[in-house]
Amino acid sequence: NGLSLLVGAAVGIITIRYLSVHEYSLYAVFGALIAAAATTSDLGVGNSLIPVLARTSDERKRLVADASAVRIRTLLILTSCSMFALLLLGILVRETAVSQAVYLVPILPMVIYFQGSATLLRGALAGVGRSEEIANALPIAALFRLIFVCAFFEGFGVSEIWVPALAWLGSSAYLYIDLRRRCEEEVEQSKSEEKLLFHPEIVKIAIPQLPGHIYYIGTGLVPILSLVGFAGNTSTAEFWALGRLALLVSFIMPAMQYLAHPYVSRGGAESFTTRSSIVLGGIIAFSAIIVFSGVLAPKLWASILGDSYENTYKYVPLALSAACISIVSRTLYTLIIACGETTFISASVP
């Protein structure tokens, strides 16, 4: 899982190096909208599914929880597709030629659908202790994206914005199809056995997370849209390029989501403190090493982005610090969900 994230980060770096600053600024808007839409299409359902599945030995309840999450997710995905496709259309028509909007607008809702559905299936597999299934599927999807981008950018000499967008779509579709195949028996069986619309345990854990997800949507979209509107294409591209450096250090997050989360959930209340302390201590140590490297060698980090972004080195320590703070905060967030007590999360966002 971590390897697939690193491959995805490599695709991002290659895209930075081949697209012009103007084109990359538009691709940054595309990526920011997908990230925000992925949050909207989840709203805590995927995270909430893991502890529900990990704690029950009753197969019927496990299947009902899985089916309920599928129904909730479907509704949220449809809403996300409509909202963010319209938003992207408005931004692209205003900022660039209609021809480029034609490339991206149809791709966006499809990526959101496949990516959001795959996230749910990953949560279902992790919750029942089948993380190896995720590990088998993710690298293949990531490698497809890398090969596609390299073939068009380097092999065919095409430097157009539709190349990374189409690669994103293809890898998301493959991942969804593969994970769906791996979950097919459980999902279909759950639909035939129970007709509950909402599993009460999932709702109980997910609802308090809603303000947090709204916060993450805002913090993801507001900087990009503000830069597009007030600072111009260069600042937008530089901001998003520095964010790709953060992806290089985020390879540790799948281990948190699909290994540490079930590990803490299965421990029960008696071992929650010990297990969560082990996980949190490791994340803090990892983050400290990353930030320290950014302070010592900022130009080395900036050189990864290419010559067009060499002047961003002064912001590298800040970018890496922000990424590591995000990793630690999401770790705490995940540990709270793992214990099943999310009631006070909604009060912590303001």
Query: Which tokens sit at 78?
Result: 């449809």
State phi, psi for 56 to the nearest 5 degrees: -105, 140
User: Is pLDDT of 314 > 70?
Assistant: yes
More confident residue, 300 or 196: 300
pLDDT tens-digit profile of 145-166? 888 888 888 777 676 778 888 8
Q: Indicate left, alpha or beta for 158 from its phi (over 0: left) and psi (-120 to 50: alpha).
A: beta
pLDDT tens-digit profile of 206-223? 666 667 667 767 777 777
User: Is pLDDT of 111 > 80?
Assistant: yes
Q: What is residue 289's predicted lDDT score, i.e. its pLDDT? A: 92
Q: What is the rounded average pLDDT of the residues 197-214?
A: 67
The mean pLDDT of the chain is: 74
Burial of 97 (0-12, 13-18, 19+ CB in 10 A): exposed
pLDDT above 70: percentage of residues in the chain: 60
- In 10 A of CB 307, how many CB atoms? 8
Instruction: Check: CB of residue 290 under 8 Å from CB of residue 324.
Output: yes
More confident residue, 55 or 291: 291
Q: Specify the pTM.
A: 0.69
Tell me how far CA of residue 238 lies from CA of 7, 28, 217, 251, 313, in angstroms: 21, 10, 20, 22, 11
Distance between CA atoms of 13 and 301, rounded to whole angstroms? 12
User: Is pLDDT of 297 > 90?
Assistant: yes
Q: What is the rounded average pLDDT of the residues 8-14?
A: 81
More confident residue, 205 or 239: 239
Distance between CA atoms of 146 and 244, rounded to whole angstroms? 15
Q: What is residue 28's predicted lDDT score, i.e. its pLDDT? A: 81
Query: Which tokens sit at 269?
Result: 């209340």
Distance between CA atoms of 332 and 334, rounded to whole angstroms? 5
User: Is pLDDT of 341 > 70?
Assistant: no
Q: What is the rounded average pLDDT of the residues 309-320?
A: 91
Distance between CA atoms of 274 and 328, rounded to whole angstroms? 17
HSE (side-chain half, CA atoms, 13 Å) at 43: 20
